[in-house]
Structure 1
Amino acid sequence: METLRHIVLFVHLVGFAVLFGAWAVQAFGGKREIVKLMHIGVTIAAVAGLALAAPWGLPDGVEMNYAKIGTKLVILLIIGAFLGIGQARQRKSGQVPTALFWGIGLLTLVNAGIAVIW
């Protein structure tokens, strides 16, 4: 069961890698727009994160860190909101607001860092 939990953790990190990779390509490729791959990455990270938040496969005596789970969930919801708002503005005006775009990348790094370090 612990092996399955590690696989789900790996998938969670892959979700952040997909999101950040798609963001980085757009950030340093010159267009700075929100693409479908970013939505796929955040969805993978969210689903795997919710699976990790369930109390299964933990060794005896290990307790869940609910502060970490809550913090990561709030950041993930903000990233999702930034993606949705940014894509709506992109459709309307043809470009994503700069603060929203860079916020997506920064918050993705913060969330992945929390997953690994905390």
Structure 2
Amino acid sequence: MNGMETLRDIVLIVHLVGFAVLFGAWVVEVFNGKRGITRVMHWGLAIAAVAGLALAAPWGIEGDLNYAKIGTKLVILIVIGALLGIGAGRQRKTGSVPPAVFWSIGILTLANASIAVIW
């Protein structure tokens, strides 16, 4: 294993940690009964997004980039970001997040992390 492969593996771990932060914050909200959008969720999304974009760059190591996987994960990431924005706006305005928005964030986050690992 060369240095670039090691660096890519570290970035992959950071990417998964970003999803873990987002999903973990979401799970905390599920179990505390508030079901709201938190700043930690936004940070987790940002970490996952930045690391994911870094992973989508050509690293000069063997193997081709899986553009279908990258595109799918990017679309899901954008939808999660939109849902976080919508949920945070509703939360500021009404004091609560619509259940469909809240549950979609958790489901899509789990799906995106699963795609990262399984595909």
Q: Mind listing any 5+ residue stretches in structure 2 that lack a counterpart?
A: none
Residue 23 of structure 1 corresponds to 26
Residues 51-62 of structure 1 mapped to structure 2, 5 A cutoff: 51-59=54-62, 62=63
Counterpart CA distance in 2 for 1:39 and 1:115 is: 19
TM-score by length of 1: 0.97
Partner of 2:101: 100
Task: Output the CA distance in 2 between the equivalents of 1:58 and 1:106.
Answer: 33
Deviations 1:62-82 (A, max 9, x none): 111000000000000000000
Unaligned regions of 5+ residues in structure 1, if any? none
* Residue pairs, 1:13-92, within 5 angstroms: 13-59=16-62, 62-92=63-93
1:54 aligned counterpart, secondary structure: coil
Counterpart in 2 of 1:3? 6
CA root-mean-square deviation: 0.6
Quick one: distance in 2 between partners of 1:34 and 1:68? Answer: 27
Shift of 1:58: 2.2
Superposition misfits of 4+ residues, deviation over 4 angstroms: none
Structure 1 window deviating more from structure 2 (50-59 vs 29-38): it is 50-59
1:42 deviation in Å? 0.2
Report the secondary structure of 1:64's partner residue.
coil
TM-score by length of 2: 0.96
Distance 1:48 1:31 in 2: 29
CA distance in 2, matches of 1:28, 1:81: 23
Kindly provide the amino acid, as one letter, of the partner of residue 28 in structure 1: F
